[in-house]
Amino acid sequence: MTLHAVTVPKWGLAMEEATLMSWLVPDGATVNRGQEVAEIESSKIANVLEAPAGGVLRRQVAMVGDTRAVGALLAVLADANEDEAAIDMFVAEFAARAAATPQRVFAPPPEETLVIDGRSVNFLRVRSAGPTRGAPLVLLHGLGGNLRSWSLNQYELAVGRDVYAVDLPGHGASSKEVGAGTLEELAKWVAAFFQAQSLGPVHLVGHSLGAALALQVALSRPDCVKSLTGICGAGFGTPLNRAYLEGFVAAARRKDLKPVVELLFAEPTRVTREMLDDLIAYKRIDGVTEALRLLIDHALSEETQVQVHKDFGAVRVPALAIRGSQDRILPSYTIESPIRVSVIESAGHMPQLEAPAELNALIIEFIDKFE
């Protein structure tokens, strides 16, 4: 059997290192390809590491608490009867190659800003990897998120197409002015962004609030939308967990915000201190609390969500709904055929962070049908 290296993965272009938080299997355990073997944490997200191949975990090279660069060796998989000397040589050769290889620093492209109707719009454009062969893809985040919510998706989706991630009004580095906070007003803002960037029909992907907004854009401006993908969409089932929405707006300290944010994930341990610190810093910006309040009272009101659910049946562009089976913010979907619904078993309300590879594959498979 060929020996296999278990290494620190790269979750998003900006990730440079991660810390080993725990081993989920001991030395000498037999594992299957794709089995969870360790928990690691980057500066933005904690997640599980899957075995790249089947075999026996013959040697754990890294210790719990070690921080290592992307691509660094964590463990070795091999046959149970593989000679120890061969494993010693494999580890030594891996270390020698790493030492001899110049470290490349992957810097993400700079975020850009434009002004629409007197309000600043912050966005990040990732150009297609290779020749452009398809329509652009635009990503709309959920309540309290920002364009970095797609850090594990945007670069992987940019195969044959440019991919835009946008800070919605009230979020990120965009203007904190949200007007009346209705889906209709936000949809006009999105359509104006398309026009400002001279985008033709786009593949539109939205998460939670962003999914309801994407549906509104598809209904009001079907000429702008080539396909629609809604992830854990507000209005796609029972109303969003109101206690979560109110708790998110009210929390002003890390200890109050932590149990609220943990509701977003199937595994609460994926919530990192830096994630919480970033959210607290965002919520302290002038105008943010007022913007979130307006969005919850209007774009995410139960009445609006009921209307979104009714409207889904009227959408005339190809549509895909994706949900996490362990979603505690939107616990049930009631989307009816012919809308396709895909379920990610390992995810809660944040599959773009919890199961990015599976989510990316679902999106690419879907939108490639309409090029």
Domains and CATH numbers, the chain: 4-100 (2.40.50.100), 112-370 (3.40.50.1820)
What is residue 174's predicted lDDT score, i.e. its pLDDT? 97
Is residue 270 over pLDDT 70? yes
Is residue 32 over pLDDT 60? yes
- The model scores a pTM over 0.85: no
What is residue 103's predicted lDDT score, i.e. its pLDDT? 58
Q: How confident is the model at residue 50 (pLDDT cuts 50, 70, 90)?
A: confident
Q: Which amino acid makes up residue 13?
A: L
Q: Over the stretch 308-318, which tens digit does the pLDDT of each residue have?
A: 988 887 888 99
Task: Please answer whether residues 168 and 141 qualify as being in contact, where contact means their C-beta atoms are separated by less than 8 angstroms.
Answer: yes
Mean pLDDT of the region 179-185: 96
Mean pLDDT of the region 56-67: 90
Q: Over the stretch 102-126, which tens digit does the pLDDT of each residue have?
A: 655 556 788 999 998 889 999 999 9
Q: How confident is the model at residue 91 (pLDDT cuts 50, 70, 90)?
A: confident
Q: Which amino acid makes up residue 358?
A: E
Positive or negative, the CA dihedral 279, 342, 230, 368 is: positive
Task: Please answer whether residues 280 and 253 qualify as being in contact, where contact means their C-beta atoms are separated by less than 8 angstroms.
Answer: yes
Could you tell me which residues are beta bridge partners of residue 6?
75
Mean pLDDT of the region 141-160: 92
The highest-confidence range among 118-132, 219-233, 321-335, by mean pLDDT, is 219-233
User: In terms of C-beta distances under 8 Å and separation of at least 24 residues, what long-range contacts does 289-293 make, across chains too?
Assistant: 289/249, 290/176, 291/169, 291/170, 291/171, 291/176, 291/177, 291/178, 291/181, 292/143, 292/144, 292/170, 292/248, 292/249, 293/181, 293/249
Q: Which amino acid makes up residue 161?
A: R
What is residue 36's predicted lDDT score, i.e. its pLDDT? 86
Is residue 13 over pLDDT 60? no
What is residue 44's predicted lDDT score, i.e. its pLDDT? 67
Cβ neighbors of 243 (< 8 A, separation 6 or more) are: none
Cβ neighbors of 331 (< 8 A, separation 6 or more) are: 237, 238, 241
Is residue 168 over pLDDT 90? yes
Is residue 256 over pLDDT 80? yes
What is residue 100's predicted lDDT score, i.e. its pLDDT? 74
**What is the number of alpha carbons within 13 Å of residue 56 lying toward its C-beta?**
13
The highest-confidence range among 57-61, 299-303, 351-355, by mean pLDDT, is 299-303
Is residue 151 over pLDDT 60? yes
The highest-confidence range among 2-6, 46-50, 258-262, by mean pLDDT, is 258-262
